[in-house]
Amino acid sequence: MDPLKMIAANCPQGSAAYEILVEHSSLVAQKALAVARNVSHLKPDMDFIYEAAMLHDIGIIMTHTPELGCTGALPYICHGYTGRAILENAGLARHGQVCERHVGVGITMEDIRSGKLTIPLRDMTPQTLEEQIICYADKFYSKNGHRHPILEKSAEEIVLGLSPYGQDKVDRFISWHRQFEGPESIESTQG
Ligand SMILES: [Fe+2]
């Protein structure tokens, strides 16, 4: 499966959305593969990580996000589960789970209920190693059509960005950071 062809089938090549999607997804895929190599003893599925990382944000095309060139009707938060639907329809159910489970550090049923989020009520937290690696890697790169080059965020910046969403979100990120990049990498984020 060629993820670039899959993206092009859903989003015209050369459009702003296509360029932003491919640029962001390529950075996330590189980061996810580097993380996967750090935990090679856990035998992550490298081919799957590359493909799913390239496709994890495909659902943005269904959202109303003009700054990303996306002219759909749905709120941005819907891009996870709509991405899953797109990939399921293409026979890529396993890749689709990555779409649904990568938003933030994963969305719990309690998050959906208490935040009255307009997404289906089901557990959308990453379960498998591959899902967790891609969700983690995604946090290092924002998407935007303007600022170049897109710089990798520091763990400290990511923690700051997650903190309004609750300590449980920060804790989940820190535990992945420790697992994926080694215990010494986290010292400065705990200060
Ligand atoms: Fe992303």
**Shared domain check, 76 and 46:** yes
25 CA distance to ligand 1 centroid (A)?
A: 6
**Shared domain check, 160 and 146:** no
Domain total of the chain: 2
Do 144 and 133 contact (CB within 8 A), yes or no? no
Structural domain range at position 46: 3-150
Per-residue pLDDT for 105 more than 70? Answer: yes
User: What would the pLDDT profile of 67-103 be if each residue is shown by its tens digit?
Assistant: 999 999 999 999 999 999 999 999 999 999 999 999 9
Alpha-carbon distance of 144 to 23, in angstroms, equals 10
Percent of all residues in the chain with a pLDDT value above 90, rounded to a whole number: 90
Question: Which pTM value belongs to this model?
Answer: 0.95
Q: How much is the average pLDDT of 138-154?
A: 83
**Shared domain check, 67 and 8:** yes
SS3 letters for 117-158? Answer: CCCCCCCECCCCHHHHHHHHHHCCCCCCCCCCCCCCCCHHHH
141 CA distance to ligand 1 centroid (A)?
A: 7
24 CA distance to ligand 1 centroid (A)?
A: 7
